[in-house]
A and B are shown apart, each in its own frame.
Chain A
Amino acid sequence: MYTTDMYEGVLAETITMTGANGDLINAYLARPLGKGSFPAMVLAHHMPGWDQWYREATFKFAQHGYVTISPNLYFRTGHGTPEDVAVKVRADGGIADAQVVDDLAGAMEHVHALPYVNGKVGIFGTCSGGRHAYLAACQNSKFDAVIDCWGGRVVMTPDQLTDKFPVSPLEYTKDLSCPILGLFGEEDSSPPPEQVKQHEEELKKHGKNYEFHMYPNAGHGFFYYDRPNYRQEQSVDGWKKIFAFLEKHLA
């Protein structure tokens, strides 16, 4: 717990890292100053892109003691305002799951190799980033914890599968090797509560270590303070649950 007599410092900057196919992509890296070593986090940004909220979230995790990296998953689409880039990605039907998973694995390897990291790396994502975080954690056993906040389309029907999204993330559940925290809203339509229940049943079936919380009076994206769906009480509680979960599994 922070007290006012503590030293606190965070170094945050844009860096370059190696992503899928050996491509160099940019990322936002924030790390606590002071005596390490520190656990690390990878942040999978949401559909609106590599935006202000994600840079702030990266900083927030660092302030709480985690070396945190947020790769620009839309790097290859080009550069402009985060919104201009994100709408281009949207128009092109999203980014292929395989590329995202490899970019996130690259981010994990980047922080894992830093001398001040304690060897533990978690992954967090919201919205499409929650889905991507889950996919990445299921396909890479080097992640030590995963946090899926209202990730839609974790449960996909056969007609939703395409070349970019060839496998429903639910199918990878059996491969998940780390604990998962899931935060969801009862009023969300993506994912709807029945799909969250289906996801939970799959985790239970395979004996996974999971902790799911379904918040009443909350819909999609209830952490986003700049959107009408923001829910103060649920958001405060959700962040508490996130840091308690990480303290338990990454310390």
Chain B
Amino acid sequence: MCTMIVEKVKIEGSGKGGADWFTLQQANVSYDHPFNAPYEHALNIDFVNEAQGLSARVAVELSESAARELVRTILSVLDQAEAGGLIDPLVLSQRENR
């Protein structure tokens, strides 16, 4: 809110919150004051399912460099999976058509 740098993205998957696993519906990505990480600003991601209430949330607060490294790592792992033929061809064709 202090920076107002925030974006929402619809996602599919599961997240483990305080009590149990829940279905993820959305990720809120911001660069703003963190609640816990020892930085003035952090890359904050809240994986949420608003339909299940405000506590259905998995939160991470990352340094800028950690966030960039995480993005690179996720893409690298997905590239390896794709190269290994592990990603459903239907998913790949849907991606091509976007």
Contact = CB atoms under 8 A, between A and B. Distances in A.
> For chain A, what secondary structure do more than half of its interface residues adopt (helix, strand, loop), or is it mixed?
loop
A189 B40 contact: yes
Q: Quick one: which of A80, A83, A91, A228 has the most chain B CB within 10 A?
A: A91
Interface string A226-240: 011100000000000
B54 A90 contact: no
Q: Quick one: which of A84, A90, A188 has the most chain B CB within 10 A?
A: A90
Interface string B20-53: 0000000010101101001111001010101001
A88 interface: yes
Question: For this complex, into which size category does the number of interface residues on chain A fall?
Answer: 20 to 34
Contacts of A207: none
A85 interface: yes
A49 to B, nearest CB: 9
Interface in A206-251: 219-221, 227-229
Q: Pick the 6 closest A-B CB pairs, nearest first.
A: A80-B54, A91-B28, A84-B54, A47-B1, A228-B38, A94-B1
Interface of B: 1-4, 6, 8, 28, 30, 32-33, 35, 38-41, 44, 46, 48, 50, 53-55, 57, 59
